[in-house]
């Protein structure tokens, strides 16, 4: 009778152990399904250790703790990602509205009629007049832009200076800006019209058209002794992007394939062969941040931009990898820039 009771007790204990082992194994499976390997590795490790030691009840406790922590962390991460997406959508919406506003202003300038008696001449026609000594060419852009590159023999005069400068007669006064439809150009033309200066012409397409025509121009090498560009960390840049600073320009020189795979918000990709032309289109007060795949490539691109523009140029410390590591999301849309586009986006 005693032997029978002992056998029954042993069977019950064995069944209990099997049940505890099965529950612990199921607990581990639930933990893994909840993502504990990524979000609760410590608790999961303790559960596996207890399981290997045969401490099934302890293993189940740790597995349940791993499941709970993984679920909490996953929820927190999902909430944070949703907030980031909402912030990014708000940011992109604001940037698009700002770009649309600027485009509307540019269109208004372009649509504004030229003063009566003003003609438009292409680059070769202007060049022929200059060679014949029958034209005075005036650059109405800023002094910094003029120093970086201008039509050979051109004067640099603003609209204000044109009001008080003695002007020759018997020649055609040819004015130009960067692209031929600049607000400064329209203002200068109004000054000449008010002074009854004739004849007056506009270089169609501005300096950009002159350069594309391959005609002689001066300048373009103003800042040769430039120091290495300073670095800006990912968090600081993300903050400035979120603030939508007007003068901030992010230039990605990693190449179009890398840029298409993922880039910073608002970043424009510029191929190395287009950097000089791109630099000469930058606004005088632009603040440029260069994104590259290697520090040396970033500094090389930054130097090209510094030498050929008046912009303040910095590089993104750590590149795209540092930006992502700081929890910031990359985009997969945007705009490339080429010589044919003419204007800096």
Whether the Cβ atoms of residue 307 and residue 295 lie closer than 8 Å to each other: no
Residue 110 has a CB neighbour count (10 Å cut-off) of 12
Instruction: Note whether 293 and 274 are same-domain residues.
Output: yes
Domain count of the fold of the chain:
3
Residue tagged 């399981």 (tokens): 51
38: left (phi over 0), alpha (psi -120 to 50) or beta: alpha
Report the alpha-carbon distance of residue 173 to residue 165 in Å, rounded.
Answer: 13
Residue 305, token pair as written in the block: 């931009």
Element (H, E) at 139: strand 135-139
Instruction: Note whether 229 and 336 are same-domain residues.
Output: yes
Report the alpha-carbon distance of residue 39 to residue 36 in Å, rounded.
Answer: 5
Instruction: Note whether 181 and 101 are same-domain residues.
Output: no
Report the alpha-carbon distance of residue 201 to residue 189 in Å, rounded.
Answer: 9
Q: Which of 170, 195, 218 is the last residue of a domain?
A: 218
Host domain of residue 136: 118-218
Instruction: Note whether 102 and 140 are same-domain residues.
Output: no
Instruction: Note whether 78 and 3 are same-domain residues.
Output: yes
Whether the Cβ atoms of residue 322 and residue 314 lie closer than 8 Å to each other: no
Q: Which of 218, 251, 279 is the last residue of a domain?
A: 218
Q: What is the predicted pLDDT for the residue at 22?
A: 80
Q: What is the predicted pLDDT for the residue at 181?
A: 57
3-state secondary structure of 241: helix
Q: Which of 111, 139, 168 is the last residue of a domain?
A: 111
Q: What is the predicted pLDDT for the residue at 340?
A: 38
Instruction: Note whether 153 and 173 are same-domain residues.
Output: yes
- CA angle (298, 304, 305) in 5-degree steps: 90
Residue 336, token pair as written in the block: 């490339």
Instruction: Note whether 200 and 253 are same-domain residues.
Output: no
| pLDDT digit string (tens) for the chain, length 345 residues | 545 555 555 544 544 455 777 887 887 788 788 877 777 788 878 888 887 888 878 878 888 887 877 777 777 767 667 767 776 776 566 555 555 554 554 454 455 577 888 999 999 999 999 888 899 999 998 877 777 778 877 888 888 888 877 787 889 999 998 876 577 888 899 999 999 999 999 999 888 888 888 888 776 443 444 567 889 999 999 999 999 998 899 999 998 888 888 899 989 998 876 787 788 778 878 899 999 988 878 888 888 888 777 789 999 999 999 999 989 989 876 544 333 334 444
Instruction: Note whether 42 and 129 are same-domain residues.
Output: no
Q: What is the predicted pLDDT for the residue at 288?
A: 95
Instruction: Note whether 201 and 277 are same-domain residues.
Output: no
The secondary structure of residue 282, as a DSSP letter, is: S
Report the alpha-carbon distance of residue 44 to residue 35 in Å, rounded.
Answer: 10
Cβ-in-10-Å burial (0-12, 13-18, 19+) of 216 comes to exposed
Q: What is the predicted pLDDT for the residue at 224?
A: 43
Instruction: Note whether 200 and 98 are same-domain residues.
Output: no
Domain of 264: which CATH number?
3.40.250.10
Q: What is the predicted pLDDT for the residue at 305?
A: 86
Instruction: Note whether 154 and 256 are same-domain residues.
Output: no
Instruction: Note whether 15 and 77 are same-domain residues.
Output: yes
Count of CA atoms in the C-beta half-sphere (13 A) of 25 = 7
């Amino acid at each position: 009778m005693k032997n029978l009771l002992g056998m029954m007790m042993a069977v019950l204990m064995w069944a209990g152990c099997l049940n505890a082992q099965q529950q612990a194994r199921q607990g581990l499976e639930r933990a893994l399904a909840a993502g504990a390997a990524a979000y609760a590795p410590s608790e999961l490790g303790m559960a596996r250790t207890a399981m290997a030691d045969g401490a099934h009840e302890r293993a189940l406790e740790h597995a349940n703790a791993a499941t709970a922590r993984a679920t909490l962390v996953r929820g927190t991460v999902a909430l944070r990602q949703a907030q980031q997406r909402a912030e990014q959508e708000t940011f992109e919406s604001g940037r698009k509205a700002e770009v649309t506003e600027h485009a509307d202003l540019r269109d208004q300038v372009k649509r504004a009629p030229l003063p009566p008696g003003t003609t438009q001449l292409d680059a070769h026609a202007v060049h022929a007049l200059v060679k014949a000594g029958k034209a005075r060419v005036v650059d109405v852009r800023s002094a910094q832009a003029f120093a970086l590159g201008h039509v050979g023999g051109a004067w640099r005069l603003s609209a204000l200076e044109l009001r008080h400068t003695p002007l020759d007669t018997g020649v055609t006064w040819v004015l130009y800006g960067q692209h031929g439809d600049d607000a400064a150009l329209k203002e200068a033309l109004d000054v000449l019209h008010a002074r009854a200066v004739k004849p007056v012409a506009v270089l169609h397409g501005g300096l950009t058209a002159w350069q594309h025509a391959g005609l002689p121009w001066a300048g373009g090498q103003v800042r040769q002794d430039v120091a290495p560009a300073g670095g800006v960390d990912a968090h600081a840049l993300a903050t400035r992007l979120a603030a939508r600073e007007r003068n901030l320009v992010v230039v990605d020189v990693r190449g179009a394939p890398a840029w298409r795979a993922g880039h910073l918000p608002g970043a424009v990709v510029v191929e190395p062969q287009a950097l000089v032309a791109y630099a000469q289109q930058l606004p005088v007060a632009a603040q440029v941040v260069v994104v590259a795949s290697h520090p040396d490539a970033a500094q090389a691109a930054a130097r090209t931009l510094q030498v050929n523009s008046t912009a303040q140029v910095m590089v993104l410390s750590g590149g795209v990898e540092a930006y992502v590591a700081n929890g910031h999301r990359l985009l997969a849309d945007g705009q490339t820039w080429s010589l044919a586009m003419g204007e800096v986006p």
